[in-house]
Structures are given as structure tokens and as C-alpha cells.
Amino acid sequence: MTESTSRVGSLRKQRRASAIIPLVEPLENRRLLSADPVVIFTGLLPAALKTEGKTRIALRVQNDGDAIASGSGKVEVFASTDTTLDGGDFLLGAINKRFKIKPTKRSSVKVPITALNGLPSGDYHLIAQLSGNIAGSDTNAANNQAAAPYSTRVEERFVDLAAEFPTIAIHAASNGANQVSVAAANLGNITARGQVQVSLYLSTDRTLDDGDVLIAAPPARRARIAPGKSQLFNTNVVLPSDTPLGTYHVIAEITSGAGIADTNAANDVAVAGQTVDVVDQPPAPQSQDDDVPDVIVVEYVIPVAVPVGGYYGSGTDEGTIVEVPDDGYPDDGQPIEQPPQYDPDPTPPVYDPPARYDPPPVQSEPDPQPPTTQPVIDEPPPPVDTSYNSSGGDF
């Protein structure tokens, strides 16, 4: 009994001792959560950027962290001669976007490239940069920039207008004028938008100088000429009346303005393949002419001798009619192509004047006679009928 009792007592002591010893557990392996947005070029980059219109560069913003990357961000694309972004690089385009990207997820963006003015032609490296609130809490800012794997060709934007004559540039027009056609061609790589004026000259040679004659300078016209295209300008020309006789070349000169910056003025002058011969010829008929030959109407007056006191006659006042000689031309109101030829000193008709002029005798008036009166006859009045019955009836 004594041995068993002592064994039970030792177990109780051990239990009491184990209840006093504290229990220590191992801690979990924890770390702070953070977002890590990264910008990356995706897809195939264009071999050359468009000089006109938009070229879109495909990019991707992905989250390599273990927390959500959220906030507004800005993605920019630069052109650089090397693969390192610095202050000498040229900004081509940018886009603003609000992001919310979970860990290991991504968001696609396309940046439009439109700002190429002033960038010289050449091969450039494209560099993308992510900035904004989304990158403010980024634990790894080194991957907020990315360079494209290969270079891209960039051509400088420019307009080059050139004067050109078509094969048949001079055509006959109405009212004695000539129509001259000149084309303005755009040899540049962007659309020419503005105004173009065409001036035409006559020259004895094929070189435009101060001695040439300006024959037309119409007002400037609105133009919109795409790269590789041309616009035709037609002008009606009437040569000055004092133009010397001879053979001339027609020279055209184009002048750009109102938004068109022509980068090459050497090709703004062109010479037509046709020449113009100025000859001595009657002036062109005017619009009011009726194609009927002009006739000068002349009135001829033939002198005729008339005696003093009236025409000669024999006791009458009718006189004698002096006839005009027949000139052989009908007097029917038609134009006379050639006036009749008359003797400048015509001989008057011969007549014999009377020895004495006897005026007609004057008849004397008869003596006045007393007025004739009717005789008065004294007769009794007619009898009156008294048999009238007033009881009725007609009279």
C-alpha cells in the first residue's frame, strides 16, 4: 500500500509542475504588401511613324506586386537617339488613364503619336514612361520606364508645292481669250491646306526675270492638296493690245499662303511646253457686233437753180419740176456699198426767162344789192270745224 501510494503522489507532483511551464508556438512568415506597376511595350512596333494622321503605340501596365495598384496614371512616349531617357528627348504623345490593377494582372493602353513637328528625319528609339499617382507608392521605380527593343524611322513633316504645266496647257476660249491651265503638285508628306495664287508671264526666253510681261494674276484660291496629289488652276487670259509681235513662252509662278509653309521655292516656277505667237491681226469682234459689215451712210445734196420770185410757169403757181439725174442705184432703203460719183461742178438746167411778168388780173367785187323780201298776202283764216263730239273716241 505504501509503495502504490507514493507512486500516485509523484504523478500528481509532475502534473502540477507541467501546468506551470508556458507553451511557446512558432510565428508565421509575414511580409508587408506593396504594388509594383511596370510599363512594357507589346506587339510589333511600326517600322516608321506616320507623318500625317495618328500612329498608335501599344503598351501594357502590369502589377508585379502583391497589392492592388490603383490611381490615376500618365503614360508618355518619347523619341530618343539612345535607350536612356533624358531632357534632350522629344515627346511624341501621351495618354491619361485611371488604373486599378490586381497583383499579377495587367491593363493595356494605346498612346497616339501626333506631335512630329520639328523632329528631324532619322532613326529613333521609343521610350515609354509611367508617372502619376499610381507610381507614387511604387516600391520599384526602376521599371517605370521601358525602351523599345528596336529603333523606328521618323520622317520630318513638310509641304513642297511645285508648279507644273499639263501637256496641252493653252486652249482657245470665248471672246478672243485663251485659257491657261497650271497644276500645283504637293511633293511633301503632309496635306497642304491654305491658299495658292498663280501668276502668268510672257517671256522671250524660258527664264523668269523682271523684263517679262505679267498677263494674269487672279486672286488666291483655296487649296487642299494631299501628298502626291495636285490641283489644277485655270485662268482666262487676254493679251494686252500693246504686246510686241513675236513668239513667247508662257511662265507660271505659284505663291503659297494662309497656312501653307512651302519648304522648297526652287520648283515654284514652270514653263509651258507650248509657245504663243503674237501676230498683227484685226481686233477680235466685240460682243455687241452682229457680223454685218459696217457701212458709212453719206447724204449727197445736189444744187438746183431756182429763179427769183418762185418757179417759172405759164400763168399757174405749180411751176416746173426739175428732175435729179438718175445715178443708177435703186432707192429702196438698202445699204450702198459704194457712193455714186457726181460731177463736182454740175451745170444748172437751161431755161428762157419771160420778157415781162404779168400778175393775174384782179376781179372787182359787184355792187351791193338790197335784200330780197317775200310779198305779204292778206287772206282770211281757214274755217274751224265745230262738229267735234267730246263724248269719246279719237280726234
**What's the confidence (pLDDT) of residue 44?**
85
Same domain? 220 vs 192: yes
Residue range 116-147, pLDDT digits in tens: 877 888 999 999 999 988 877 677 888 889 99
The pLDDT value given to residue 174: 78
Q: What is the CATH number of the domain that holds 111?
A: 2.60.40.10
Structural domain range at position 240: 161-278
- Are 137 and 190 in a shared domain? no
- Tally the residues of the chain: 395
pLDDT given at position 49:
87
Question: What is the residue-wise DSSP string for 258-292?
Answer: SS--BS-GGGSEEEEEEEEEE---PPPPPTT--SP
Residues 142 and 226 in one domain: no
Within this chain, do residues 79 and 149 fall inside the same structural domain, yes or no? Answer: yes
End-to-end CA distance of the chain: 206
Count the domains in the chain. 2
Reported as a single tens digit per residue, the pLDDT across 181-227 is: 999 999 998 899 999 999 999 999 999 999 899 999 999 999 999 99
Clarify whether residues 137 and 172 are in a common domain: no
| Residue 300: pLDDT over 50 | no
How many whole angstroms separate alpha carbon 76 and alpha carbon 128? 6
Question: Given 237, 252, 278, which residue is the final one in a domain?
Answer: 278
d(CA 165, CA 208): 15
Do residues 52 and 68 both lie within one domain? yes
For residues 169 and 137, state if they share a domain: no
Amino acid at 145: Q
Q: Which of 278, 296, 324 delimits the end of a domain?
A: 278
Distance CA 72, CA 341 (A): 110
pLDDT band at 355 (very low <50, low <70, confident <90, very high): low
Domain stops at, among 97, 132, 154: 154
Clarify whether residues 132 and 165 are in a common domain. Answer: no
Check pLDDT > 90 for residue 78: yes
